[in-house]
Amino acid sequence: MIASFLIILRELSTVFFLILLGFLGGKTGLISRDASDSMAGILFWYVTPATAVVSLQRSFNPEMLKGFLSCCLIAVVYYTTAILVVRFTVREKAAERRSVLRICSVFSNLGMLALPLQMQLFGSDGAFYGMAFITVSNLIFWSYGALVMNGGKGGLPWRRMFLNPGLLGSLTGFLLFIRSVELPALLNRSLSSVSQLMLPLGMLVIGQRLAEISFRSLLEDRAAWLAAFRRLLLFPALVLLALSLTKLRGTAPICAAIGYCAPAASSVSILAIQYRQDVDLAVKSVSLQMVLSLVTMPILIALAYTLLA
């Protein structure tokens, strides 16, 4: 356990250093909120789909397909369980707070934080399996998440469910993988170059957002702390327990553990703004979880290595 923890801590040191650079840039004004928003837009529209295509760009392999589908199944089971848990445990009276707390508890930052870590620790295989979780998450986030935020009104946002860049990139990459289609060398190199921006841009954005936090305000909201407990400890523990009871071992289940011990997805704030929910609570919860995850993630990932390697 100690050896695994030290290995994970060493790998995470690069991530923490980049977050620190973003934090310092935010504090000094070198990285403004507008610049951070622009980088987040680049990540959403360019880097994530490029990473999806590149990650899945390999010759068809039945074992890799089996692992990919296993990750999709893990994701479906996880979301089903988590959604049921928050349905019966998050009972805030105010609907605008209740919706935010449920989404902050269920959805983790798979794209901006978990995927770079999966790539850092497992290279192309980590990215391959990480995209399986992102594919399922995108579908559920823009369906269940939008319905919860909108109070069950207005129906499903079909366009966002199926036409977001991350999902389109995943589906394109998966079809290329199934057919063993290789992209032209120039296009592959270009997309690979774009995908390499995932870690530095993602961590700089997170660091800049942390620089805007009033840490004193994070201590005041008990409900935000309970959401952090569910997101950072309860659900990761359930995932680890369930995976340890199966025969799954190796890269795929460890990538699952990495994904579901990450803090709340920053996209929660986007939904809160769009559907006029408690935006301040969304920002506060995401920020609080990001800070706490710097402690919880290394421990949980090291535990995953110990149980699932």
User: How far is residue 113's CA from residue 115's CA, in Å, rounded to a whole number?
Assistant: 6
pLDDT at 153: 66
Q: Which residues does 267 contact at the CB level (< 8 Å), separation at least 6?
A: 107, 141
Which single residue is written with the structure tokens 């990761």? 236
Task: Please give the model's pTM, rounded to 2 decimal places.
Answer: 0.84
Q: Which tokens go with 270? A: 């986007």
Q: Per-residue confidence at 209, pLDDT binned at 50, 70, 90?
A: confident
Q: Which domains does the chain have, with CATH numbers?
A: 2-308 (1.20.1530)
Check pLDDT > 90 for residue 102.
Answer: yes
What separation in angstroms does the CA of 261 have from each of 163, 191, 221, 236, 240?
Answer: 27, 28, 22, 5, 10
Q: Show the tokens assigned to 28.
A: 């000094």
Phi-psi region of 152 (alpha: psi -120 to 50; beta: other; left: phi over 0): left
Summarised one tens digit per residue, pLDDT across range 124-153 is 899 999 999 988 998 888 888 888 888 766
Instruction: For residue 196, give the amino acid letter.
Output: Q
For the residues 258-281, what does the mean pLDDT come to?
83
Percent of the chain with pLDDT over 70: 93
Query: pLDDT above 90 covers what percent of the chain?
Result: 37
